[in-house]
Amino acid sequence: MPQERVPELPQPPETPPAAPVAPRPARPPARVYRLGAAADALVAQARAQSAAGQHTAAAALIERAMRIEPANPLVWLELARLRQAEGRYDQAQSTAEKALSLAVGDARAQASAWRMIAVAQRARGRLVQAQESEQHARALSPR
């Protein structure tokens, strides 16, 4: 009686397979914020009011734009500019910080926010912090 041949099983590799490479940490996608038509019109009116020294009217217009686009950092940056024009540097800085927190992925908006923070810090005599904020801005948008 002929013997049946048993197929050989594959031998395990001599070296274990390489461990899978860990994926790179996800970066937020690059983004560029823009104002919608309604918010853009309100911001343009606010700039004109501010240039005429009518800061209260300008603030009301920016607040209307904020109700339309509350998560848009550009609206918050406009309010920070207005607060700087009024000499209200504490509010300008906190508003610019809010814009910074919303500007995820938009290096240009982040750089603008850091520059406004630096102006507010410098105006209040916080020169070291202002310099650090300027460095953040330059790192985001070297000129």
DSSP string over the chain: -PPPPPPPPPPPPSSPPPPPPPPPPPPPPP------HHHHHHHHHHHHHHHTT-HHHHHHHHHHHHHH-TT-HHHHHHHHHHHHHTT-HHHHHHHHHHHHHH-TT-HHHHHHHHHHHHHHHHHTT-HHHHHHHHHHHHHHS--
pLDDT tens digits, 3-31: 667 667 666 566 555 555 555 545 555 77
Q: Which residue ranges form the domains of the chain, and what is each CATH number?
A: 37-140 (1.25.40.10)
Q: Is the pTM of this model over 0.85?
A: no
User: So what's the pLDDT on residue 11?
Assistant: 66
pLDDT tens digits, 32-62: 888 889 999 999 999 999 999 999 999 999 9
What's the burial of 1, exposed, middle or buried (CB within 10 Å: 0-12/13-18/19+)? exposed
